[in-house]
Structure 1
Amino acid sequence: MNTMQILSVVVFLLVMVAIVSEKIHRTVAAVAGGVVLVCLHVLTVDDAVGYIDFNTIGVLIGMMLFVAVVRNSGLFEYVAIKAAKIAKGNPWKIMLLFTILTAVLSAFLDNVTTVLLVGPMAIAITGILGIDPVPFLLAQILASNIGGTATLIGDPPNIMIGSQAGLSFMDFVGNTGIAVVFIMAALCVCFYFMFGKKLIVEPEKMAAVMQLDENKSIKDHALLVKSVVMIVVVVFGFVFHSSLGVDSCIIALGSATIMLLIGKQDTEEIVLGVEWSTILFFTGLFVVVGGMQQTGIITMLGNALVEVTGGNAMLLMLLILWGSAMFSSVLDNIPFVATMIPLILAMQADGMDVTALWWALSLGACLGGNGTLIGASANVVLSGISAKHGHPITFARYLRVGFPMMVLSVAISTVYLLIRFH
């Protein structure tokens, strides 16, 4: 390793230690790491800007603005109360309902969009029941990343893989989608034993939930109608954006702009509703990871996975699955997937059947995001919302739940891939 490679790794590790220890705010740690890389000449300013994924940043800002406007209609409270009444106020049934809803939405929407829509519902209804919302939010974070694995449009790595490998929407549904069904079943069972049995609510509060009138939660009927129409537009926009040749950030920012124009809300109040610390965190993290990509560290890691197998296709499949899962727990999975795609294409050109490798890369990269609090955008966004409502999710608390569930989901994927491609 040369000096620049060592510096990029040291800065990355220092940033990770700062985030994990929580001695320094994660936003400060990430931004400081990016600044240090530029000061050490590992990256130029232009290089640093080039590694920022503005599509992701655009989706984050756009959907945060969109949700901030929609929230003022009372839609989230309405849906929360309706769901709670369907579950008859039973907290476990509410958790199960919200978890499945999150997974289904994440298969068609950006994961961040999903948690921005469903997260506030959980916070609202747990507030009524007087219970801790964190278990509900943890289930939603995990479900969003698992659900996003099921389809071509559910997660950015899948879009990249589908484009380069020539895989269709139904190819993903018939492969990763099947694995996701088993993983979601396991998630629900695990959460029942971890949290479901402990969710005890006084009968009076359950009865109070059943007596609530969801119609009274609607604050602005005109805005509610506009919101529902625009949510449908957003769903179709995200489903068909690749076919239309429009980036997802344009769908998000365009939808936010329309809502700001037709919603007739206080613009300054809406802008203040954006989690700007989260936006800055991602910006800094993209630069820190970009330092490792610029110096070739990520490429070295990818090549090592290929070389260590000695050409054994099945072993390579398992190494890609578990390796991408572990790396995606702490690294942004997009640069990792971008590095692995050319390697797999090169093996394909040499005559190897790489079909199983594409699915291993997809499952590992997407499911790996559940490993740590910084493993995926949805994790960071929803934990930020939780903290804003007075229920912080620490790195350690998330790790105790997220990492074991990530390992279980990848283990299920291992069994599925071995049966499917043996």
Structure 2
Amino acid sequence: MACPTQNLGEDGASLRPHPQENNPSPAYTWLMDVSSAAASIGIFLITYGLIFSERVHRTIAAMAGAIAMIAVGIGLGFYDWKAAVAAIDFNTIGLLLGMMIIVSILQKTGFFQYAAIVVAQWTKGNPWRLLLSLAGFTALVSTILDNVTTIVMVAPVTVSIAEVVGISPMPLLIAEAVCSNVGGVATLVGDPPNILIGSAAGFSFNDFLSHLGPVVLVTLLLSFGLLRLLFRRELSAPPERVESLMAIDARRALVDPKTMRRMLTVLGIVVVLYLVHDRLHLPPGLVALIGASLGLLWVRPKVDEVLSQIHWDVLLFFI
């Protein structure tokens, strides 16, 4: 939501109207300052109150609050339309939009389901190894994709695998939820808050990875230890139907192998550009949009289907 930051226009003149062109009275100036501060704080608190109450969708609350702040700011002279547009972080918007497009195309190929089945078969149905492998896979995916998208793609496959093996899916799902949140901290693009922090502070992809990567690894190890302790009974039970798991043909999960290979190539290019974007002076948002454009041109999917998978409410919320 736009917040007032200054009282000056483009020419350095005050945006605040006052009766005397050159020397407004101290009382008038004080009154306008108090009014501006009270209005800003009031709008801010009301907006966050609506968001926390969950009675109004957070996107609607944020948009209404931003519009109210701009309108009141223009009326009282502490804000203007150009300043509001300048406050939008287009780097964050571009990064979110670009990654949403890439994921929407890759998701329809069945790659994530295929990868989860392969990982599960590698464990041969051992509950503890299954938890470690699926949770580790989830954490790895979360370093590139946001947590919610990762869980939405991995959780259904996890439940199916647990049913095939004959174990409770609850420990696996809890482990994936924990590791998704932990893994998303490691990189600049792992979660929207990371993007906002990195964009505001000027951190690069490597800055996030080098400083938070070791912390994430230690946290994952501690999380695995705690999960082992909490679910020691469930994880110690031998699997009932290992043969059924090993009999699953993972390749049947692939809907479009050709598109999958192309989009994995695009994703690889994007990751490489993330690693060197600061040297090339490319903002992360532009890197994501480059990858999205390359994927759209190479694969040429149905535009309506791609657009339907984009979380427009999230983009509006960040605007």
TM-score higher than 0.5 here?
yes
Match of residue 41, structure 2, among 1, 4, 9: 9
**Structure-1 residue corresponding to 2:17:** none
Superposed displacement of residue 146, structure 1:
3.3
Superposed displacement of residue 274, structure 1:
0.6
**Structure-2 residue corresponding to 1:289:** none
| 2:142 is aligned with 1:142 | no
**Structure-1 residue corresponding to 2:64:** 32
Considering only CA atoms, is the larger Rg found in Structure 1 or Structure 2?
Answer: 2
Secondary structure (helix, strand or coil) at the match of 1:125 reads: helix
**Structure-2 residue corresponding to 1:85:** 121
Amino acid at match of 1:5: A
Query: Contact conserved, 1:234 with 1:252, CA < 8 A, in 2?
Result: yes
Match of residue 153, structure 2, among 96, 112, 120: 120
Give me the whole-angstrom Cα distance separating, in 1, the residues matched to 2:236 and 2:316: 38
Going from structure 1 to structure 2, the CA distance change for 1:168 and 1:279 (only over 3 Å counts) comes to closer
Query: Contact conserved, 2:98 with 2:289, CA < 8 A, in 1?
Result: yes
Superposed displacement of residue 71, structure 1:
1.6
Superposed displacement of residue 265, structure 1:
1.9
**Structure-2 residue corresponding to 1:311:** none
Secondary structure (helix, strand or coil) at the match of 2:112 reads: helix
Superposed displacement of residue 206, structure 1:
6.0
Give me the whole-angstrom Cα distance separating, in 1, the residues matched to 2:312 and 2:174: 25
Superposed displacement of residue 273, structure 1:
0.9
Deviations 1:77-113 (Å, cap 9, x if unpaired)? 111111122233456544433443455566xx5563x
Give me the whole-angstrom Cα distance separating, in 1, the residues matched to 2:242 and 2:157: 14
Query: Contact conserved, 2:139 with 2:182, CA < 8 A, in 1?
Result: yes
Superposed displacement of residue 72, structure 1:
2.1
Going from structure 1 to structure 2, the CA distance change for 1:97 and 1:229 (only over 3 Å counts) comes to same
- Counterparts in 2 of 1:32-71, with a 5 A limit? 32-41=64-73, 43-71=79-107
Amino acid at match of 1:77: Q
| 2:226 is aligned with 1:226 | no
Give me the whole-angstrom Cα distance separating, in 2, the residues matched to 1:237 and 1:69: 20
Query: Contact conserved, 1:103 with 1:148, CA < 8 A, in 2?
Result: no
**Structure-1 residue corresponding to 2:280:** 244
Amino acid at match of 1:37: M
Query: Contact conserved, 1:129 with 1:209, CA < 8 A, in 2?
Result: no
Going from structure 1 to structure 2, the CA distance change for 1:105 and 1:77 (only over 3 Å counts) comes to closer
Going from structure 1 to structure 2, the CA distance change for 1:160 and 1:269 (only over 3 Å counts) comes to closer
Give me the whole-angstrom Cα distance separating, in 2, the residues matched to 1:205 and 1:231: 36
Give me the whole-angstrom Cα distance separating, in 1, the residues matched to 2:244 and 2:98: 36
- Unpaired segments ≥5 residues, structure 2: 1-32, 164-168
Give me the whole-angstrom Cα distance separating, in 2, the residues matched to 1:97 and 1:186: 15
Give me the whole-angstrom Cα distance separating, in 1, the residues matched to 2:49 and 2:37: 18
| 2:243 is aligned with 1:212 | no
Secondary structure (helix, strand or coil) at the match of 1:243 reads: coil
Query: Contact conserved, 2:114 with 2:251, CA < 8 A, in 1?
Result: yes
**Structure-2 residue corresponding to 1:100:** 136
Give me the whole-angstrom Cα distance separating, in 2, the residues matched to 1:201 and 1:26: 43
Query: Contact conserved, 1:18 with 1:24, CA < 8 A, in 2?
Result: yes
RMSD between superposed Cα atoms in Å? 3.7
Superposed displacement of residue 236, structure 1:
0.5
Give me the whole-angstrom Cα distance separating, in 2, the residues matched to 1:103 and 1:145: 7
Structure 2 length as normaliser, TM-score?
0.70
Give me the whole-angstrom Cα distance separating, in 2, the residues matched to 1:10 and 1:128: 51
Query: Contact conserved, 2:151 with 2:177, CA < 8 A, in 1?
Result: no
Superposed displacement of residue 218, structure 1:
1.2
**Structure-2 residue corresponding to 1:21:** 53
**Structure-1 residue corresponding to 2:223:** 187
